[in-house]
A and B are shown apart, each in its own frame.
Chain A
Amino acid sequence: MAPSSPTSPLAKTAGAQLAASKTTVEFRAALAAMAVVALIPLGVSNAYWLGVLIVSMYFAILAGGWNLLAGYTGQFSLAPATFAMIGAYTTGLLNHYYGVPPLLGIVAAVVVSGLIGLLLGRAVMRLVGPYLALTTLSFAEIMRLVASNSIDITRGDLGLGVAGLLNSRIGWYYLFLGALVVLLILFYLLLRSKAGLFLQAIRDDEVAARRAGVNVVFWKTAAFAMSAAASGFAGALYAHFAELVTPELGLIGQTGLIVSMTVIGGMGTLAGPLVAAFLVYVLSEWLRDVGGYQLVVFAALVIIFARFFREGLWGLTRTAVQRWRRA
């Protein structure tokens, strides 16, 4: 039988199930998850746990931004937390020294972190794999040390006090949720456009992408800039939420959390990292209470997922749903 015979029923079913664009299914799932998050304050009024969820949303934005770069474009940068720190200091310094209002500062933070991301992206253009990871890690540590040691300007590890934006914790909760949903929609539109095709093509095979006419330099740089801008946005929001900016925002441990969330949720899936951000951060708070094992647990989970479940929790869920439907 000819291998391309149109009568093979097995291949046909497999094709049909994947037909309703993967990205659209993931987008709907992510929106559903955000709807659940929107309902949580109806049952939870404890300020501590609302705070934990707000920080989870901060991380969800960071994980989404890093996923665009690492999961969809294949560029494993170790600087996402650094761009959050850069965003936080941008609005923080503008506010502290020039009294720039937070909303304007947040816009400036997006622009500045995006531009620095663009420059870093150009600088590491030809680097892949461990070389890219180590170079971005050096960049991350240098930026953090600069922030930490420029005591005259940043007040170093003491931190820089900045203006708040909202007084109510519930207000912050829905502001972060709104920001997350807007970013989710932007990522979805981006991935559905030709940019989504090009980024994933670059991830899968850069030479084949160039052969197909994709301007690899442009799109890799763009992915770096967009990812950095998203991180900077999260950092700037967080600065006004915490009313304090410190170099700790750029700690490598923070990047570790972002990587854990993305890998456990499913790299290169729209819904996975966003949902996993909540699971991992809530779990990390709980593990901190029972004895500070969070880093050990996440390191182990990342290794297990990276080795055995390449598409993370999202991939596992999808497989389970498919089996259940077939049964």
Chain B
Amino acid sequence: MGIDQDGRAALEAGMTLLSVRGVSKRFGGLTAVDNVSFDVTAGELVGLIGPNGSGKTTLLNILSGLAKPDSGEILLDGTPCHDLAPERLAQRGVMRMFQLTRVFRRMNVVDNLLVAGRALGLGADEALSRADALIAELRLDVVRHLDAGQLSGGQMKLLEFGVCFMVPPRIALLDEPFAAVHPTMKEIMGGFIRSRHGKGQTFILVSHDMPVVVELCPRAVCMNAGRVIIDASTREVLNDPRVIEAYLGGQAA
């Protein structure tokens, strides 16, 4: 198979991979995402933070094709992609992990991984060997043949995380991967993200876990009430008074 992640990453490093331009999404009277713009460069690991209800998940829904923006556009490798269905985006390399875990509950761990592998074009043997490698790396060996519905909450998250990397995505959109996850598993996922980022994998990471964001993400985008209030280095973002105000109440008008 020809997906040489390292080679591709080296070739792309520094190029704009994803471009969000003036994207808005309204639900009735509520503007969930309000004229949001930012770029993600290939190989970047961007933290997306903000209080509950600030529009992070809605933005990820738009980026993964589950919702259509009311206005604005999204470019993947310079071509508009906001009209594509989720499965087309997955095939283009946009992989998304949900905040509320989504796995195939009546299929076993291996089959859960194989679905993504086969749907994204791997042959049977290669999909199986990729699944085996991921199962070993994410330490899911023991539950390998259990149905996903029988796993613990943390194991399910690890499995869904693994699904996103069956075929190395162009960009991985991770929505709260660490929420309510055992510290050991959190370490497994964190180590995985660090090692892939080291090899040039691009991420957007949504998290409320600030120490993790500080540790993993060099850059952070903070949203509040649907708007981007600051987009800078993570240190700068966390020390910004607007961010502190957004998190500690005092509804920014």
Contacts and interface: CB of A to CB of B under 8 A. Distances in A.
Interface in B60-93: 64-66, 85-87, 90-91
A268 interface: yes
A16 interface: yes
Interface in A195-237: 197-198, 200-201, 203-205, 207-216
Nearest to B167: A213
Interface stretch (B30-38, B105-113, B226-234): B105-113
B142 A211 contact: no
Given A3-B185, A4-B184, A208 B142 contact: no
Contact of A15 (B119, B145, B158, B188): B145
A201 B104 CA distance: 6
B169 to A, nearest CB: 10
A39 interface: no
B139 to A, nearest CB: 4
B189 to A, nearest CB: 12
Interface size class of B (residues with CB under 8 A): 35 or more
B216 interface: no
Query: Mostly helix, strand, loop or mixed at chain A's interface?
Result: helix
Contacts of A214: 87, 115, 119
Interface stretch (B39-47, B48-56, B95-103): B95-103
A15 B107 contact: no
A15 B96 CA distance: 28
Given A4-B155, A213-B91, A214-B119, A15 B143 contact: yes
B86 A207 contact: yes
Identify the 6 closest CB pairs spanning chains A and B, nearest first: A213-B90, A213-B119, A212-B116, A204-B104, A15-B145, A208-B102
26 contacts: A2-B184, A3-B155, A4-B140, A6-B139, A15-B145, A19-B145, A194-B119, A197-B111, A204-B104, A205-B103, A207-B66, A207-B86, A208-B104, A208-B160, A208-B163, A209-B104, A209-B115, A210-B65, A210-B87, A211-B86, A211-B163, A212-B119, A212-B120, A214-B115, A214-B119, A215-B119
Interface of B: 64-66, 85-87, 90-91, 95-96, 98, 102-108, 111, 114-116, 118-120, 124, 139-147, 152, 154-155, 158, 160, 163, 166, 182, 184-185, 188
